[in-house]
Structure 1
Amino acid sequence: MSEDAAGDTPAWTREHAAGLRRDDSNVAPIIYPPEERIDEDLHIWDTWFLRNRDGSIAEIDGYRVIFSLTSPSNLLPGKRHDVATIRYFYSQDGEHWTTGGTVFDGDTLGQRQWAGSAMYDPEGDEGEIYFYYTAAGEDGADELTYTQRLALATGGTVSTDGGLSEGGASSDVPSDSGFSIEGPWDHQILLTPDGDWYEREDQSRGMIYTFRDPWFFEDPESGETYLLFEANTLVPEGTGACDDPVWEEFNGSIGIAHSPTGDPTEFELRPPLLDAVCVNQELERPHLVVRDGTYYLFISSHVHTFAPELEGYDALYGFVADDLQGEYEPLNGHGMVLTNPANAPFQAYSWLVYDHGDELLASSFFNYFDYNRPNLDDVSLLPEDEQMRRFGGTLAPTVRLGLDGKQTNVIDTLDHGHLPLQREALPKSWWDAESKDGGDGYY
């Protein structure tokens, strides 16, 4: 890669990525199927919390909420992205999740909705949700398309009275659920790629095009409001950005937009936080953990999206800087934080990291098990019943991660879909020495 190929943007370089290796510090244990999935009628994959504006996990009358991309479980897993629907699930203990229904009950943007983030504002009417999502596909197109825009839905509210208010929620929400998210929603496109900092679809030369995964973030140091997202850096052909022109097609980046007024409905594009030009095409689901003034930036990526002559993995990758728009360096020297075992290389994906006191927790979804072929393309070569059997389609075990400066390590795992809060966010009766966890911080 030539010097400073993307201007002043911090880079994940080929030199960094050349050091990627599985070792005892970054390999998760083998995952086995749970006795029960969260919902036997659904495939569940990319998942995120309902959060407060400051990034903490929202608790509403004792409930916490997650959102997931879903499809019917009788669908071949490889087809699920084409019909993805966002549903919500709620829990009072972080272990047992109840399906609440679809988030949106009608008009949306895009042919289907992909991952994003959700922010809860308790000061709004009845507690308002700002729901950021990827509008995938062109509205009204007859054929399936892959246009991607960053969208926002507002107007949704939370009810915990055991029933639905008039005018309300999706038709598949049980009326005695105790928790519901209700519309109507107003949808708008927030951002599209500018064709300068961020590549438009018609400019793409790579295997995959990305402008998706909006993640709301309020900077605790400055109080400023931002959106992070996945994108591709524009690399015009013939500019010599990489030593090998083929590598130029691998141009993933982590984008950022700023709200000048703090209004969570208005954002302006800013230059990328990080790029992986010549290294990787797809830096998925970017998100941040801030600890003691240090910024930890996490993404997920695939083995097949690394540029030629680099050996990467389906894995969680991370970077660290002293401020939001600082000089990000890869954690552990190469960037890999957590990956799957060599004999189960696709068992989990789409990790989301959150702070839990002295450690980090990483959630993900249970992907393909009993499967060790070199890539996921070979899944389609299996008989359909084997494709269905080997797809987990539910939340994976939550991984506990140690964090020490610029180094991370895998500690162990919790159960499938066990997503505890920090001890200090819980009522004392849930975690004192006489109660459920014996004082170890989990319940």
Structure 2
Amino acid sequence: MVFSLKDSWVWDFWLADDGFTFHMYYLHAPKSLGDPELRHRNARIGHATSQDLSNWVPHGVVLQPDDPDAFDATSTWTGSVLKGPDGIWRMFYTGARFYESHNIEAIGVATSPDLHTWTKQPAVVIEADGRWYEKYGDSTWPEEAWRDPWVFADPAGNGWHMLITARANEGDVDNRGVIGHATSRDLETWEVRPPLSQPDAGFGHLEVLQTAVMDDRTVLLFSCGVDTLAATRPKGFGGGGIWSLETDQASGSYNVESAANVTTAQLYSGRLIRSRSGQWVMMACHDANSDGFFEGVVSDPIPVRWDPERGGLTLVAPPTSTAKAR
């Protein structure tokens, strides 16, 4: 069944596998807010565990705003989790500060010995660099986009890479979406670098980035909804917003203009993971239906394969219908 909470909407999520248990970290906000659009200003990070990627046990909130002067003063948003060579688990996550008409995003880190208890490390905060990236006020875009960090080891053993949802500081306002980039030698000190993709590729932003090595190919996955596609990109594919492309190397650069739409269903924020049987599957959050109703649940795992003819991921089975909230 899908993962849902009775009293909260659930949306963006990310996964970790300790070899025995799957861990899901997810954004959620109370349905008592009334309007699902308010969830972004009230997001907290929750935790759930599973043995099979289908049956999940929620464990409550693990990270939330707790300092009115911090980079995550308003909301804690999407991130990624990995285990460092020192044996410590690290969660790189987005912090948002909301103002009356806009929000500013930055990236921080929390650490854990066991994937259950997390401690923020306030000394590590990574912000957008105006040499390459749009800052709030550089255009009419209503935010300073610097979020959804995806962190992975350099394939050649030269430290660590972070892929970031970002916007270039030049180009048409609706067409500035790029893959931001930062690197580190030790997971502690980070250097912001130029983007790994070019603007004018058809996207206002590229959200919830992930790379995965599937068999003999490296795949990049990201999301972009119909309302944030550039005017230059056709919008007639019917919805969905999850995109994929094959890349020569995990650390870029990426030709995102060539990305193929994964699904036309109302799915967003897709994540790839290998099941215990070795099957690659994708999970995603159920976005708004055609009538505008926001479901706020996470799908069952959907088997996927690479389709060389269309140059992208293909769902092997249709997404599961919504189940009752837990």
Q: Shorter-chain TM-score category?
A: 0.7 to 0.9
Q: Counterpart amino acid of 1:363?
A: M
Determine if contact 1:221/1:293 at 8 Å carries over to the other structure.
Answer: no
- 1: CA distance, partners of 2:245 / 2:45: 29
Which of 304, 315, 324 is the aligned partner of 1:410?
315
RMSD: 3.0
Counterparts of 1:193-204 in structure 2, within 5 Å, are: 193-204=128-139
1:356-405 superposed Cα distances (whole Å, 9 cap, x missing partner): 68864221112223x34xxxxxx4xxxxxxxxxx3322112332221145
Describe the shift of the 1:144–1:87 C-alpha distance in structure 2 as closer, same or farther (beyond 3 A).
farther
Determine if contact 2:267/2:286 at 8 Å carries over to the other structure.
Answer: yes
- 1: CA distance, partners of 2:312 / 2:294: 32
Describe the shift of the 1:416–1:131 C-alpha distance in structure 2 as closer, same or farther (beyond 3 A).
farther
1:78-125 superposed Cα distances (whole Å, 9 cap, x missing partner): 21111000010112332211111111366354211111112235854x
Q: Report the Cα offset of residue 310 of structure 1.
A: 2.7
1:19-61 superposed Cα distances (whole Å, 9 cap, x missing partner): xxxxxxxxxxxxxxx6x853212211101012xxxxxx323xx
Q: Counterpart amino acid of 1:297?
A: L
Counterparts of 1:275-424 in structure 2, within 5 Å, are: 275-277=198-200, 279-291=202-214, 294-312=217-235, 313-326=239-252, 328-329=254-255, 334-341=258-265, 347-355=266-274, 360-369=280-289, 371-372=290-291, 379=292, 390-405=293-308, 406-413=311-318, 415=320
TM-score by length of 1: 0.63
Determine if contact 1:64/1:91 at 8 Å carries over to the other structure.
Answer: yes
TM-score by length of 2: 0.84
SS of 2:295 mapped into structure 1: strand
Q: Counterpart amino acid of 1:147?
A: I
Matched residue, 1:161: none
SS of 2:52 mapped into structure 1: coil
Q: Report the Cα offset of residue 129 of structure 1.
A: 2.6
- 1: CA distance, partners of 2:260 / 2:179: 16
Counterparts of 1:59-78 in structure 2, within 5 Å, are: 59=19, 62-75=20-33, 76-78=35-37
Q: Counterpart amino acid of 1:205?
A: T
Q: Counterpart amino acid of 1:83?
A: N
Counterparts of 1:221-240 in structure 2, within 5 Å, are: 221-235=156-170
1:266-294 superposed Cα distances (whole Å, 9 cap, x missing partner): 21112211134262211101110124564
More off after superposition, 192-201 vs 406-415: 406-415
Matched residue, 1:257: 182
Q: Counterpart amino acid of 1:365?
A: C
2:94 is aligned with 1:134: yes
- 2: CA distance, partners of 1:351 / 1:129: 22
Describe the shift of the 1:413–1:58 C-alpha distance in structure 2 as closer, same or farther (beyond 3 A).
farther
More off after superposition, 391-400 vs 68-77: 391-400
1:310-348 superposed Cα distances (whole Å, 9 cap, x missing partner): 323442112222123455345xx942232234xxxxx32
SS of 1:228 mapped into structure 2: strand
Number of residue pairs the alignment of both structures matches: 312
2:113 is aligned with 1:157: yes
Determine if contact 1:284/1:299 at 8 Å carries over to the other structure.
Answer: yes
Percent identity over the alignment is: 24
Describe the shift of the 1:135–1:207 C-alpha distance in structure 2 as closer, same or farther (beyond 3 A).
closer
- 1: CA distance, partners of 2:304 / 2:12: 20
Structure 2 unaligned blocks of 5 or more: none
- Return the index of the structure with the highest Cα Rg: 1
Describe the shift of the 1:209–1:249 C-alpha distance in structure 2 as closer, same or farther (beyond 3 A).
farther
- 2: CA distance, partners of 1:293 / 1:227: 22
Structure 1 unaligned blocks of 5 or more: 1-33, 51-56, 159-179, 236-240, 242-246, 342-346, 373-378, 380-389, 418-443
Matched residue, 1:162: none
Q: Larger relative contact order (C-alpha < 8 A, sep ≥ 6)?
A: 1
SS of 2:227 mapped into structure 1: helix
- 2: CA distance, partners of 1:209 / 1:281: 12
Describe the shift of the 1:291–1:94 C-alpha distance in structure 2 as closer, same or farther (beyond 3 A).
closer
Determine if contact 2:262/2:312 at 8 Å carries over to the other structure.
Answer: no
- 2: CA distance, partners of 1:326 / 1:182: 33
- 2: CA distance, partners of 1:252 / 1:233: 6
- 2: CA distance, partners of 1:364 / 1:223: 31
